[in-house]
Amino acid sequence: MLTNPKTAIISILEIINYQNDKETFADKFIELCIKQSFLEMIGDLPKEKVALLTSRIKSVSSLEQFVKTLKEYIHPSLLTRKIEQVSAKLFDAYIEGIFQTLDEDTKAKLMSYLAKIENGQ
Give CA–CA dist 26/8, Å, rounded: 9
CA atoms within a 13 Å half-sphere pointing along the CA-CB vector of 54: 10
Q: How far is CA 87 from the centre of its chain?
A: 4
Binding residues for other proteins, rule CB under 8 A, total 80
Residue pair 72/88 in contact by the 8 Å Cβ criterion: no
Please report whether residue 2 would count as binding other proteins according to CB under 8 A.
yes
The minimum distance between CB 47 and other proteins, in angstroms, equals 8
List the interface residues with other proteins, window 17-76 (CB under 8 A): 17-20, 23-40, 42-43, 45, 50, 53-54, 57, 60, 62-64, 66-67, 70-71, 74, 76
> Could you say whether residue 16 binds other proteins (CB under 8 A)?
yes
Residue 39 to residue 33: CA distance in whole angstroms = 10
Q: Within 73-102, which residues bind other proteins (CB under 8 A)?
A: 74, 76, 79-81, 83-99, 101-102
